[in-house]
Amino acid sequence: MIARKATLGAVLGVTVSTVWGQALTVDMIEQMGNNSLFTRWRPFSHFLAPSGWMNDPCGPLYDPVQGLYHLHYQFHPNHVNWGNISWGHATSPDLVTWADVDHSPGNGLAAWQDQQAESIGTTNLSSKHNPPLYNHLSIFSGSAQPVNISGHADGTLLAFYTSVSELPTAWNDPYLPGTESQSLAYSTDGGVTWQQYANNPILSDPPGNWNVTGWRDPFFLPWPQMDSLLNQSEPHYYTVFGSGIKDVGPRMPLYSAPASNLTDWTFLGALWEPVANSSLGTLIETGSYGFNFELSNFFSIDDHYFVSMGAEGGNVTFHQQKWSLWNEGTVSTRANGSIDFNPISGGASDWGILYAITSFNDTKNNRRIQYGWAWEDMNSFAITQQGFQGALSLPRELFVKETPHVVRSTTEKSLGNSQYIKSTDGSWTASTLGVRPAHDVVEGLRKASHLSRYQCKEMMCDAGQIVLPTNLSHSYEFTVNIKRTTGITGVTIAASPGREEYTNIYFDPSNNSIVFDRTHSSLIDMFLNTSYVGYFEPYQIAAKDGGKPVTEPIKMDIFVDGSLVEVFVNDRFALTSRIYPSREDSNGIALFTASGVDVEYLDMEVWDGLLNVWPNRPLNSSSLLVFDTPAKTGNYTWWAGD
Ligand SMILES: *[C@@H]1O[C@H](CO)[C@@H](O)[C@H](O)[C@H]1NC(C)=O
Ligand SMILES: *[C@@H]1O[C@H](CO)[C@@H](O)[C@H](O)[C@H]1NC(C)=O
Ligand SMILES: *[C@@H]1O[C@H](CO)[C@@H](O)[C@H](O)[C@H]1NC(C)=O
Ligand SMILES: *[C@@H]1O[C@H](CO)[C@@H](O)[C@H](O)[C@H]1NC(C)=O
Ligand SMILES: *[C@@H]1O[C@H](CO)[C@@H](O)[C@H](O)[C@H]1NC(C)=O
Ligand SMILES: *[C@@H]1O[C@H](CO)[C@@H](O)[C@H](O)[C@H]1NC(C)=O
Ligand SMILES: *[C@@H]1O[C@H](CO)[C@@H](O)[C@H](O)[C@H]1NC(C)=O
Ligand SMILES: *[C@@H]1O[C@H](CO)[C@@H](O)[C@H](O)[C@H]1NC(C)=O
Ligand SMILES: *[C@@H]1O[C@H](CO)[C@@H](O)[C@H](O)[C@H]1NC(C)=O
Ligand SMILES: *[C@@H]1O[C@H](CO)[C@@H](O)[C@H](O)[C@H]1NC(C)=O
Ligand SMILES: *[C@@H]1O[C@H](CO)[C@@H](O)[C@H](O)[C@H]1NC(C)=O
Ligand SMILES: *[C@@H]1O[C@H](CO)[C@@H](O)[C@H](O)[C@H]1NC(C)=O
C-alpha cells in the first residue's frame, strides 16, 4: 500500500515508440473514399449494425421457445445518416456473441450485407389498407414480447412500435397531425419473417386531446404488481410512451390492455406531470426533464418503481439537448383509477452520450437488462469514410443498490440521486438505482483477453512507478480501485507514445464529479473535443468505532472498444463517450492524478483484447453507400438522403 504524490498527467507504461503510428490528418481523410476508414475506430466487442446508420435499441427480449435473445435497432441500411428508418435484427444465445438474422435468405447475400438484417421496414399499402398510409415513412422504436396477440407464449414474437406517416418531427417544431400512430408486427417463425397486424394502427391519436410534442416508442410488459394495485380481475399488460404537451411539459402516458387482447389499450392518465424544463432536484445532480420525453420505461425491481426516459430540450451549459434520466417513485392510485407516480430520487442513467435507453426482463436470469444507443461524436466529419454510425452500450444490469451505515448531511433539502431509509438502529441506508455491465457478459468478453493484475497491498501501486502494459489492442477493460484520494484522480487512456494525444478520465472530489476530458483526445481538429461531466457523490460511511466517517472507495471500470468508451463507477454511475485518435498507436494507459494529490490504491486490472462478438461477420462488413434522390426523400424534407 502506498500513498504518494504523483505528477499531473504522468503517462506510465508507454515506452515504446513505433513508426506505424502515423497520424491521420483532416486533408488525408477528405481525400479518402466511402468505407475506407470502416475498421479504424469500429467497436467489435459491442452490439452494432453491420454497416450504415443505426440508432435506438428496439424490442429486446428473451425467447424461451428457441432459447435465444433477440435485439433490434433503428436501422438505415446502405446510408450513413438517419432516414427511412426501419428495424434491424440480430440474435444471441447468451448476450455475448451475436449473429445478424438473414430476413431474405436464399438471395445470395450474406446476413450482414445491405438490408438483409432488416426485419421490419416501412410499407406503402396504398388503397389496400385503411388508412392507406400509416407506416410508409418510418418504423420508430418500440418493444417486444414473446407472446401472440392473445398473450399466449406459443412461439410468436410480438413487436409494438410507432408507425410514422408525416415527417419531419421534432419536439420544438409544429406537430403535423397524424405524424405518429402505434402498431403491431409479429413473427411466427422465430423472427425470420415479420408481418404487420392487419388492423394497424391500433392507436391512432394521442390521449386526451393533448397538443403533443411527440407520442412514441411504446414500452410494454406484463406486470402482476400493477394488476394487484389496480384490482384487475384478469392479467393485463401495461405500456408507457414518451410524450409531452406543448408549452406545458413532458409526459409519460400509461395504458393497459388485457393480456387476452393486446390490441385493446385503455389510457390510464399521465404517470406524473412535470413542468416543462424543470428538474427533480438540483440540475447538476438530477438533470432536466426538458420539454419532451422520448423512449420511456416504467418497471419495478423488487418493491421499487422506476421510470427512465430520454428528455429533450433541457439545454444547460454542461449538458446539451438530450438527457438520459431515471427516477424512482412511489405509486398510488388516483380517484379515477389511474396510477400516480411520485418521484423520490433520480439522476442520469448515463452522463455522456448514451441515449434512447430501454430495458427488458431477462426472464432466463430474472434480471432487468438495459441497452442504450451511443451515437458517433464525429461532428459529421469522416462519416462516409467510416461507412457507419452508432453502436449500443454493453448490456447493463439494473438493480436496487443499498448501502448501509451512510452518514447523511443534515442540510440536504432537495431530492437527489439516493433516498435515505432509517434503520431500526438509527443509521441510514442509501438506496439508489444500481447499474453495472452484466457480469456474465463481461466474463464472456474477457475470455480471450490477457490479464495484468496489480494488488496494491502486496506491491507498490504508485502512479510514478507501476508499469502498466504497453501497446494495448483495440479493445480492453481497465479497472482501478481507489481507496482514498485528496484530489483529482483517475486514469489516462488512448495515449500516443509521445503524448501527442490522450484522454483523461477522473474523479474530482472538490465538486463531486466524474470528468471525461477530451481536450487532447485527437489531433484531428474536425472532431469535437468537448468534455463530459457527471455528478458522483461518494457516500460517507459511519466508522465502526464511532470515529470520523470514511469516504467509500471509488471503483472505476472502463471499457475501451475502438471509439467507444464506457465508464462505470461504484455500480451506480455510467458515462459513455467517443474518442477518435488520429494515430494507430494511441493505445497507452496510465494512472492519472493532479499534482500534489495523495492517493491510496487498492488494486487494478487490465484485460487486453476483448472478444469480437460478431463471429459471422468479416471485420470489414461495409456495404455500398447510396445517396437518395429528391423524389425518395420528399425533396429532402423527410430525411437528408445520404
Ligand atoms: C460515396 O457514395 C456515394 C453514393 O453512392 C457516391 O455518390 C460518392 O461518389 C461516393 N464517394 C466517394 C468519395 O467515393
Ligand atoms: C424504405 O425502406 C423500405 C423497406 O426496406 C423499402 O421498401 C423502400 O424502398 C425504402 N424507401 C426508400 C425511399 O428508400
Ligand atoms: C406511397 O404511395 C403513395 C400512393 O401511391 C405515393 O404517393 C407515395 O409517394 C408513396 N410513398 C413512398 C414513400 O413511397
Ligand atoms: C395464441 O396462442 C394460443 C395458444 O396456442 C391460441 O389458442 C390463440 O388462438 C393464439 N392467438 C392468436 C391471435 O393467434
Ligand atoms: C399547440 O401548440 C402550439 C405551440 O405552442 C400552438 O401554436 C398551437 O396553437 C397549439 N394547438 C392547439 C390545438 O392548442
Ligand atoms: C383496490 O381494492 C382495494 C381494496 O378493496 C381498494 O382499497 C382500492 O381503492 C382499490 N383500487 C382501485 C384502483 O380500485
Ligand atoms: C380486441 O380489442 C379490439 C379493440 O378494442 C376489438 O376491436 C377486438 O374485437 C378485440 N378482440 C377480441 C378477440 O376480443
Ligand atoms: C385521472 O386523473 C388524473 C389526474 O387528474 C389525470 O391526469 C388523468 O388523465 C385521469 N385519467 C383519465 C383516464 O382521464
Ligand atoms: C431551461 O432551463 C435552463 C436551466 O434552468 C435554462 O438555462 C434554459 O434557458 C431553459 N430553456 C428554455 C428554452 O427555457
Ligand atoms: C440546445 O443546444 C443545441 C446545441 O447547442 C442547439 O442547437 C439547440 O438549438 C438548443 N436548444 C434550445 C431549446 O435551446
Ligand atoms: C421477470 O418476469 C418474471 C415472470 O413474469 C417475473 O416473475 C420476474 O419478477 C420478472 N423479473 C424482473 C427482474 O423484472
Ligand atoms: C424541391 O426543392 C427545390 C429547392 O427548394 C425546389 O426548387 C423544387 O421545386 C422542389 N421540388 C419539388 C418537387 O417540390
Give the Å distance between the CA of 432 and the centre of ligand 8.
29
Q: Whose CA is nearest to atom 5 of ligand 4?
A: 154
Q: Whose CA is nearest to atom 11 of ligand 11?
A: 366
Strand (E) positions, 199-283?
A: 212-222, 236-245, 249-251, 253-258, 266-270
Task: Give 17's pLDDT tier (boundaries 50, 70, 90).
Answer: very low
Q: What local confidence, expressed as pLDDT, does residue 577 receive?
A: 98
Of 168-182, 399-413, 478-492, which range is least confident? 399-413
Q: Which of 256, 263, 265 to mutate to test the pocket of ligand 7 (most atoms within 8 A of CB)?
A: 263
From first CA to last CA, the distance across the chain in angstroms is: 56
Binding-site residues, ligand 7, Cβ < 6 A: 261, 263-264
Q: What local confidence, expressed as pLDDT, does residue 107 receive?
A: 95
Q: Whose CA is nearest to atom 12 of ligand 2?
A: 632
CA 374, chain centre distance (Å)? 6
What b-and-e string marks burial along 301-327, b requiring 16 or more CB atoms within 10 Å of the CB? beebbbbbbbbbbbeeeebeebbbbbb
Q: Give pLDDT tens digits for 363-377.
A: 999 999 999 999 999
Q: Which three cell numbers stand for residue 102?
A: 438473414
Of 97-111, 466-480, 507-521, 617-631, which range is least confident? 466-480
CB of 188 shorter than 6 A to ligand 4:
no
Q: Which ligand approaches the C-alpha of residue 629 most closely?
A: 2
CB of 34 shorter than 6 A to ligand 1:
yes
437 forms bridges with which residues in the sheet? 396
Q: What local confidence, expressed as pLDDT, does residue 22 receive?
A: 66
Q: Give pLDDT tens digits for 159-207.
A: 999 999 999 999 999 999 999 999 999 999 999 999 999 999 999 999 9
CB of 284 shorter than 6 A to ligand 9:
no
Residue 26 is given by DSSP the state H
Q: Which ligand approaches the C-alpha of residue 226 most closely?
A: 6
* Rounded mean pLDDT, 532-550: 93
Q: What local confidence, expressed as pLDDT, does residue 413 receive?
A: 73
Say whether 259 sits in a helix, a strand or coil. Answer: coil
Q: Which ligand approaches the C-alpha of residue 202 most closely?
A: 7
Q: CA-CA distance, 437 to 49, in Å (whole number)?
A: 20
Task: Give 247's pLDDT tier (boundaries 50, 70, 90).
Answer: very high
pLDDT at 398 over 80: yes
Q: What percent of the chain has pLDDT over 70?
A: 96
Task: Give 414's pLDDT tier (boundaries 50, 70, 90).
Answer: confident
Q: What percent of the chain has pLDDT over 90?
A: 88
Q: Whose CA is nearest to atom 8 of ligand 4?
A: 150
Q: What local confidence, expressed as pLDDT, does residue 425 receive?
A: 83
Q: Which ligand approaches the C-alpha of residue 210 most closely?
A: 5
Q: Whose CA is nearest to atom 3 of ligand 6?
A: 231
CB of 209 shorter than 6 A to ligand 11:
no
Determine the atom of ligand 1 nearest the C-alpha atom of 384: 1
Q: DSSP letters along 89-136, please?
A: EEEESSSSS-EE--SSTTSS--TTSTTTTEEE-----GGGSSSS-SSS
369 forms bridges with which residues in the sheet? 360, 397
pLDDT at 15 over 70: no
Determine the atom of ligand 4 nearest the C-alpha atom of 148: 1
Determine the atom of ligand 3 nearest the C-alpha atom of 124: 1
Q: What local confidence, expressed as pLDDT, does residue 270 receive?
A: 98
Q: What local confidence, expressed as pLDDT, does residue 320 receive?
A: 80
Q: What local confidence, expressed as pLDDT, does residue 465 receive?
A: 73
Q: What is the pTM of this model?
A: 0.95
Q: Which of 311, 316, 561, 339 has the alpha carbon at shortest distance from 445?
A: 561
Q: CA-CA distance, 250 to 121, in Å (whole number)?
A: 29
Q: How far is CA 95 from CA 67, 68, 341, 344, in A?
A: 11, 9, 32, 32
Q: What local confidence, expressed as pLDDT, does residue 423 receive?
A: 86
509 Cβ neighbours under 8 A, 6+ residues apart: 485, 486, 487, 488, 538, 551
Name all domains of the chain by residue range, CATH numbers in brackets.
3-19+449-608 (2.60.120.560), 54-205 (2.115.10.20), 210-350 (2.115.10.20)
Task: Give 448's pLDDT tier (boundaries 50, 70, 90).
Answer: confident
Q: Which ligand approaches the C-alpha of residue 257 most closely?
A: 7
Q: Which three cell numbers stand for residue 141?
A: 422504436
103 and 90 Cβ atoms separated by less than 8 Å: no
Q: What local confidence, expressed as pLDDT, does residue 264 receive?
A: 98
| Geometric angle at alpha carbon 530, from 276 and 249, rounded to 5° | 5
Q: Whose CA is nearest to atom 8 of ligand 5?
A: 211
